[in-house]
Amino acid sequence: MIKIRKNLITILLILILEIFILLNPDILIRYSKDGLNLFINKLFISLFPFFVLNKILIDYNLPYYISKLKTNSTTLSIIILSMLSGMPSNAEYIKDYLENEIISLEEAEKLLIVTYFPSPVFVITVVGYLGFNSVFTGFILLFIIYLTNLILWALIKNNKRLKSNILYIKNNVNFIVSFKKAISSSLNSLMIILGNIIIFSILIGILNKFLNTNIYFESILTSLLELSNGIKKISVIGTNFNIKFSLCLFALIFSGLSIHSQVSSILSNYNINFLKIFLYRLVTSIFISCFSYIVLYFLNP
């Protein structure tokens, strides 16, 4: 009965959304174009090459070699791969490891909490270079995000050795086959990202029509919904470096509901507490962004 009610509420909300879009086609056109332009001009050109290269590295047994570094380092391989690939690739790796019984469900939950890494290319080029006109700022943001997640992992990890901590090496890898597969898989992942950006861009447009807010609140709200649009909003906030930097940290560490929804859909067949993961990321992002602002205030008043 509860499930039927949820389905009916979902249907009702979607119908209301469709009617609103039909009555306001300008919002659909404008914000769909904004999302598409953001994807083509900033995301696709910076993410696609690295998506392809990272997938080839996986085919050439990078996870296997990482797992040989130390005892119980299967989880380390997921963390390192997530650092290289960004979200939502972390969910794909965790799903593969769960399917092969390499990690437990409890371990998967903890890994999800600490592997919300944005793509390093996105942080350095889109946020750092295009948002702050400084590649160095992008590297600083990336370092703080990495450090935050690693500290969080040290606090919540389980030190027991996993029973099925085994990775097998792939033999006879054909580069041409691997290259074609990497392109296909990368394009598929990017199309999912594009779809999410456009849908959440339209939702942001609808909220903007009803909410008359200042640029700071609008930036935070947009960041909660979708990371790329949130960063775009933050990048046009005046010249106050401290506020822009702290808000960017908040957006990058939390990652936006769009990414959270992609992760939950990839792992929907598993009984994972996504609310717990959501709250961990939200609390962590608020704490780190506030802490960074306080530090910056004293260093750069």
In the chain, where the domains are located: 2-299
Tell me, yes or no, if the pTM score tops 0.85: no
Q: Quick: pLDDT tens for 218-229.
A: 888 888 888 888
DSSP state of 239: S
Grade residue 164 by pLDDT with cuts at 50, 70 and 90: very low
Give the DSSP letter string of 25-77: HHHHHHHHHHHHHHIIIIIIHHHHHHHHHHHHHHHTTHHHHHHTSSTT-HHHH
Rounded to 5 degrees, what angle do the CA atoms 279, 285, 290 make? 130
The token duo for 20 is: 């609103």
Q: Which residues contact 62 (CB under 8 A, 6 or more apart)?
A: 77, 81
Distance, CA of 259 to CA of 192 (rounded, Å): 10
Distance, CA of 95 to CA of 273 (rounded, Å): 15
Q: Quick: pLDDT tens for 181-216.
A: 889 888 887 887 788 788 888 888 887 777 766 777
Least confident of 119-123, 127-131, 132-136: 127-131
